[in-house]
Amino acid sequence: MTREGDVRRINTRHYGTSTHWLDETTSQCRMFLNEPPLLVSRLESGADHFVDRLPKTHSAAEQLLQRALLLDLAVHLGNAAHDAFHSHDSDRSGGSRRCEFQATTTLDEWLADLARSPGEAFRRWATRFVMVFHDVHTLECARRAQEYIQQCFRDRIALAPLARELRCASKHLRRSFKDLTGLSVREYQAELRFREALRLLEHTDLKIEAIAREVGYNSKKGLYRVVQERVGRTPLDFRKHCRSGRWHAPSSGEGIVSSF
């Protein structure tokens, strides 16, 4: 951001505005920029609280200066939030995934509208940024969630912590994940557990209790219940019929095949 000393000298030398007002404005900008964690899902509500804390402007000079400071802040926030979102990919792959989104493109309306106060312009920018950001990244977030669940389906997974892990908003993840997979996060995880349990029943000699633990069920009763409901047979019956060639565990995207 613009160096405080430079801004203060310009401010006091040419405009005669309050040094205390400038100190408070720059302090609030700095605090908002450094608030952890910098998530897109928190940006809109954070912008409301930030603008409410800003000191009021009392002259055209202060309006102009505050607009410039908030514009600079918006650029830094937009880029930082975008980088934070993609740092998940960088952490996993050792490099950044290419993304065409440009945080500064959401500033067009602000630059064209000088009638609103700097604070109101900043609020409107935050709302627009979040909307455009999620429009661009929603499907990617759902795909990352799908990949995460495929790797960790044995663990307990809830939507809100998963959204925080992937640095996206819960409501956007819920909708986009259902659009992508046709299932909720919980349903998708349950399907993966079920399919892995059937695979282990068909291809291993593990006991039912061991398979239940392996795929993430709380007890073998849970595995018995879901297999009975969906297959119509107990796990042991399923194993026996698989080995007789009459059934087999489904592969990805396939239903249960039966010759009964």
Could you read off the pLDDT of 76-88 as tens digits, one per residue? 988 888 887 777 5
Residue 160 CA to residue 37 CA, distance in Å, equals 15
How high is the pLDDT of residue 4? Answer: 52
- How many percent of the chain have pLDDT more than 70? 82
How high is the pLDDT of residue 178? Answer: 92
How do residues 210-241 score in pLDDT, each as one tens digit? 999 999 998 899 999 999 999 888 999 999 88
What number is the average pLDDT over the span 64-70? 92
Burial of 15 (0-12, 13-18, 19+ CB in 10 A): middle
Asked if pLDDT for residue 111 goes beyond 80, the answer is: no
Task: Tell the residue number behind the tokens 């005669």, with chain if given.
Answer: 16
Q: Decide if 193 contacts 211 (C-beta within 8 A).
A: no
Rank 16-20, 98-102, 193-197, 253-257 by mean pLDDT and report only the highest.
193-197
Here the tokens at position 235 are: 């796990």
Which amino acid appears at position 46 of this protein?
G
* Count of beta carbons in the 10 Å neighbourhood of residue 260: 7
How do residues 112-140 score in pLDDT, each as one tens digit? 778 889 999 999 999 888 888 877 887 88
Paired residues of 257 in beta bridges: 248
Q: For 222, list phi and psi in degrees, rounded to 5.
A: -65, -40
Q: How confident is the model at residue 256 (pLDDT cuts 50, 70, 90)?
A: very low
> Cα torsion for 198, 200, 203, 206, to the nearest 10°?
-130
